[in-house]
Structure 1
Amino acid sequence: MERSAYTEMAAIDENHWWYRARRSIVADVIQKNIVKGHPLSIGEIGCGTGSNLPTLRHFGDLIAVEPDAQARAIAANRCDTKVLAGRLPDDLPLGPNSLDLAVMLDVLEHIEDDVAALKAVLQTLKPQGKLLLTVPALPSLWSPHDEEHHHKRRYTASSLSLVLGQAGLRIEMKSYFNTLLLPMIAGIRWLKNLTGSKSVDTGIPAPWLNGLLEAIFAFERYLIGTLPMPLGVSLIVIARAD
């Protein structure tokens, strides 16, 4: 990402509606689908500035990996978790068969060779280990936000299934999410594309709007895995070794 993006992220990710709601959804998915009644060995790969670490620590022993030194330093100061230097696909400092759960939250889209990255993550999983993955969805939503964050692509359900299969991972759960707000987000992004606007909305909205957007987005934790979510701004997957 642009260096300024890490500073902006650290300034808002504790309180911004999108980050808060995504953490609620991720925690709920882990609790419902992955928790086995004992602490998990968890690795967050590509932890950024570390806003997810306190949430993930509730589920077991946590280690994190982040390639950017600035983001890594911020993350290490936010949570009592070891944050290692490392990069996918060829410099991942995690041992083979060491994790019950690997977590990659909006990371895969940054990596040129996504299949090789997933193969590297697969090697870190224990025999019954799982990968929890989120990625941005729908190429038609490509915007200056993707460019600022150095995204290589946005996925569809079928394109993500293809790369997971090529990496040797079997999908256990897959769903679009951030579905309820899709019309609003799509409208804003398409309008910007039509007008040629390069502006990126990174600030926190007014408190009432921030709270409303968080409530709408976070409500989807009750829907994922229960009701079909045919489209959404993002995709979430649980996968295991094929």
Structure 2
Amino acid sequence: MQHEYYKEYYDLERSHWWFVARERIITNYIKKLISTGKLKANPKILNVGCGPGRSSEYLSDFGKVVSIEYDKFCCEFASEKTGLEIIHGSITELPFEDKMFDLVCAFDVIEHVEDHQKAVHEMKRVAVDDGVLLITVPAFMDLWSHHDVINHHFRRYKMKQIDGLFQNGEKGRNLYYTYFNSFLFPPVYFFRKLSNMMGSGKKRKGSGSDFEAFNPGLINRILFKIMASESTFVNGGIRFPFGVSILYCWKKEI
């Protein structure tokens, strides 16, 4: 991602309907993990690929957060803007000893990593026994568009691919998995297909991603409410059969 995009994403993470709704879904699910005893209270958290820093800010409501980001410019930019201490490092070579963190998070990160199996292995390595891994990734290659290209994605996923990554190797089990941003899947699918046919993504200014046409008005609030409403279903244990993204939670076992 080019440097100027991080400056755009700093604001988008805090106001765009997709980011704010994803935050609602993630934070409510973590609250459930703690309330049901699947994750200890006040956990030590590793946030991998923290980007402009908003995810580390909301994760700090649950416990002590250690943040790591691959892009050096983003580390410096996010640290200056948020006051967070952010480590420059890679998910495929995490600079931590084994079994250090109760919760290891990577929100829309591993699609940026060519060796995603190694990335997952590293996340497992630094998790304590009985620790929890929580990730989100974009779903379905049919939704591939200029948005993925400009964000340097290697792939989008189906659920069986994510499950295969996590069930390979270390002992553990998935606690929960689901597609999400499901209610808005039809219009997103239509928009992506139309954009691909017209080549409109390449003509955009700024980031060129789907987030570029952001307007912080009524439509933004409506879309937020639609997507955020899925949090109730997620916390109720319901799994959506399709969606624009995937939420996957895995527990490390001895």
Where do residues 64-103 of structure 1 align in structure 2 (5 Å cutoff)?
64-90=67-93, 92-103=94-105
Quick check: 1:214 aligned with 2:224? yes
Q: Matches of 1:107 and 1:211 in 2, distance apart?
A: 26
**1:19-46 deviation line (CA, Å, top 9, x unaligned):** 1111111100100024546311001001
In structure 1, the residue matched to 2:168 is 166
For the residue of structure 2 that corresponds to 1:14, the secondary structure is: helix
- Percent identity of equivalent pairs: 31
Q: Matches of 1:59 and 1:188 in 2, distance apart?
A: 36
The two structures have a TM-score, normalised by structure 2, of 0.90
Deviating above 6 A after TM superposition, structure 1's stretches of 4 or more consecutive aligned residues are: none
Where do residues 55-204 of structure 1 align in structure 2 (5 Å cutoff)?
55-90=58-93, 92-168=94-170, 169-198=172-201, 199=204, 200-201=209-210, 202-204=212-214
Say whether the 8 Å CA contact 1:5–1:149 is kept in structure 2.
no
Q: Which amino acid in structure 2 is aligned with residue 171 of structure 1?
A: N
Point out where structure 1 has 5 or more consecutive residues left out of the alignment: none
| Structure with the largest fraction of helix | 2
Say whether the 8 Å CA contact 1:50–1:75 is kept in structure 2.
yes
Deviation at 1:4, TM superposition (A): 3.1
Q: Matches of 1:103 and 1:34 in 2, distance apart?
A: 15
Q: Matches of 2:136 and 2:41 in 1, distance apart?
A: 24
Q: Which amino acid in structure 2 is aligned with residue 28 of structure 1?
A: N
Deviation at 1:80, TM superposition (A): 4.7
Quick check: 1:31 aligned with 2:31? yes
Q: Matches of 1:80 and 1:95 in 2, distance apart?
A: 25
For the residue of structure 1 that corresponds to 2:51, the secondary structure is: coil
Q: Which amino acid in structure 2 is aligned with residue 177 of structure 1?
A: F
The two structures have a TM-score, normalised by structure 1, of 0.94
Quick check: 1:235 aligned with 2:246? yes
Say whether the 8 Å CA contact 1:40–1:60 is kept in structure 2.
yes
Deviation at 1:11, TM superposition (A): 3.0
For the residue of structure 2 that corresponds to 1:166, the secondary structure is: coil
CA RMSD, Structure 1 to Structure 2 (Å): 1.6
Q: Matches of 1:44 and 1:75 in 2, distance apart?
A: 14
In structure 2, the residue matched to 1:205 is 215
- Residue-pair matches, total: 241
